[in-house]
Amino acid sequence: MITPFDPGHRDGVIAVVLPIQQLEFGIPVQLADQPDLLDIPGFYQQGKGQFWVALDGGMVVGTIGLLDIGNGEGALRKMFVAPSHRGAARGTAQRLLHTLVDWARARGMRRLYLGTTDKFLAAHRFYDKHGFREIDAAELPADFPVMKVDTRFYIYSMY
């Protein structure tokens, strides 16, 4: 089940995101480096933004955030799926992404951007398969929040 984030999901979100970043991909990032995870409502659930979790039996197994960066544009952030819930057969990532895109489209957003690291090879294939196109960092809007680990960037046009 995909549902909007509520404060009761906070620990579950952190339990999904940090191990993937740190252990699976060896990215030296700490919770303190990610203030958005400590204040999801204040960071994502503003303007046309939102943050969703995928739940299985009440446990958080996936996350995705939409940051409203203005001008009809959004930034896709924090898309993570627990290893146990990955793959096309499970459909968790696809449901998270479709929820975000449907939400953004319904609110009149025209473009979505995302930044990711070169290490997330499966994510690159996933974004390519779902209509995202890789772009150069110079093509990002001025308000796009580039993270220090971002080395690849994508755009998704709604229309």
Query: pLDDT tens digits, residue range 107-145?
Result: 999 999 999 988 777 889 999 999 999 999 999 999 999
16/23 Cα distance (integer angstroms): 11
Confidence class for position 27, pLDDT limits 50, 70, 90? confident
CATH topology for the 2-157 domain: Aminopeptidase (3.40.630)
Mean pLDDT of 28-35: 90
- Bridge partners of 81, per DSSP, are 62
User: pLDDT at residue 159 above 80?
Assistant: no
Strands, E assignment, 23-108 = 50-56, 59-70, 73-81
Among 103, 111, 114, 95, CA closest to 158: 111
- Bridge partners of 131, per DSSP, are none
Give the predicted TM-score (pTM) of the model.
0.93
Task: State residue 17's pLDDT score.
Answer: 96
User: pLDDT at residue 158 above 80?
Assistant: yes
To the nearest whole number, what is the mean pLDDT of the chain? 94
